Amino acid sequence: MTYVAVSAISHPGLLRERNEDSLVVGPWTLCGTVTENPQTLVFPLGTPLVVAVADGLGGHPGGDVASSLVARRMASLGPALSSPVAVRDAVNACNLAVYQAAGGEQDSELSGMGTTIAGVVAQPGSVLVFNVGDSQVFAASGDGVRQLSVDDSPPHPPGRTTTLVTQCLGGSLTYRAVAPHVAAEPLAPGDRYLICSDGLTDPLTTDVLDEILREHEDGRAAFELWKAAIEAGGPDNITVAVVRIGEE
């Protein structure tokens, strides 16, 4: 039997008062919480399984509300995400839902709330990679770490954080459509993926990510990635999901 093992951890970091990241793994969500020990879930590879990170926009009201709304909606839609078109439709529906929940231009405490989204949908034979914003998806193999997502943010050097994104879900007072990045990749037992918020990738270089993923598997890898980001200053919320395709 082929299965999907997902090990995840989410933490506010050292400088933020609260965690505005949310995570979805199949029907399971982790929203705005604090964990220092990875949770590992295992699913049979069959019905489309969504694993995604949503990073609420810092400096905006309701970032945690936006990210949790999107995570829960993606969890409910996940089993139907069998094609790139279905994924795009789901992400666009999440974008509209964030605006509706924010109350538009009304004097709402949630006006302008927004979030990124990045993740994969695993199904037999293929994985659909998607994102809007600067949360990231990587493939991890013997050839090294390869970024699969497309950053919607200006380039910046490691160690320097940025709150600028060129598109996100919500994030403005009036509705703005988004163009989700969606791509299909072949999937086979042994494949590994890293999905994370920029609280991991801002302070750490790709070489560091690669070294940790080569040295550790599953939950230990997720823990060591989080630990490295904390030791690098933990400037932002950190959410990490390590996905492995296994076979019994």
List C-alpha distances in Å: 121 to 90, 134, 223, 235, 244: 12, 18, 23, 29, 13
Q: Where are the alpha helices (DSSP H) in 3-120?
A: 63-77, 84-102
pLDDT reported for residue 142: 83
Among 31-35, 61-65, 220-224, where is mean pLDDT lowest?
31-35
CB 135 within 8 A of CB 117: yes
Residue 81 has pLDDT above 70, yes or no: yes
Q: Which residue has the tokens 């600067």?
A: 134
pLDDT tier at 180, thresholds 50, 70, 90: very high
pLDDT tier at 204, thresholds 50, 70, 90: very high
Mean pLDDT of the chain: 92
pLDDT reported for residue 105: 59
Q: Which residue has the higher pLDDT, 37 or 146?
A: 146
pLDDT reported for residue 163: 61
Q: Where are the alpha helices (DSSP H) in the chain?
A: 63-77, 84-102, 198-201, 206-215, 218-231
Q: Which residue has the tokens 């936006």?
A: 66
Query: How does pLDDT run across 116-157, given as a tens digit for each residue?
Result: 999 999 999 999 999 999 999 999 988 899 999 999 987 756
Mean pLDDT of all residues in 64-71: 96
d(CA 36, CA 17): 16
Letter for the amino acid at 64? D
Close Cβ partners of 78 (under 8 Å, ≥ 6 residues apart): 24, 26, 27, 48, 49, 50, 121
Mean pLDDT of all residues in 77-104: 95
d(CA 74, CA 119): 10
- Of 3.40.50.10490, 3.40.50.2300, 3.30.980.20, 3.60.40.10, the CATH number of 2-247 is 3.60.40.10
Close Cβ partners of 176 (under 8 Å, ≥ 6 residues apart): 167
Q: Return the H-helix or E-strand segment holding 233.
A: none
Residue 160 has pLDDT above 60, yes or no: no
pLDDT tier at 48, thresholds 50, 70, 90: very high
Residue 84 has pLDDT above 60, yes or no: yes
pLDDT reported for residue 94: 98
Percent of the residues in the chain that have a pLDDT greater than 90, as a whole number: 81
CB 176 within 8 A of CB 165: no
Q: Which residue has the higher pLDDT, 115 or 61?
A: 115
pLDDT tier at 21, thresholds 50, 70, 90: very high
pLDDT reported for residue 59: 64
CB atoms within 10 A of CB 120: 27
d(CA 234, CA 245): 29
Q: In the chain, where are the structural domains located?
A: 2-247
Mean pLDDT of all residues in 196-200: 96
Close Cβ partners of 179 (under 8 Å, ≥ 6 residues apart): 132, 167
d(CA 133, CA 198): 10
pLDDT reported for residue 153: 83
